[in-house]
Amino acid sequence: MRENELAAIVVDVAYQIHRRLGPGLLESAYQAIMSYELRLRGLHVETEVPIPVLWCDVRLEVGFRVDLWIERLLLVELKSIEALAPVHKKQMLTYLRITNSRLGLLINFGEELIKNGIVRLVNGLPDEMQRT
pLDDT tens track for 11-32: 999 999 999 999 999 999 999 9
Q: Which domain holds residue 103?
A: 3-129
Q: In sequence order, what are the residues at sequence separation of 6 or more whose Cβ sits closer than 8 angstroms to the Cβ of residue 84? A: 106, 108, 117, 119
Q: In sequence order, what are the residues at sequence separation of 6 or more whose Cβ sits closer than 8 angstroms to the Cβ of residue 92? A: 75, 77, 104, 106, 119, 121
Band of residue 124 on the pLDDT scale cut at 50, 70, 90: confident
Indicate the number of domains in the chain: 1
**Which CATH number do you get for residue 73?**
3.40.1350
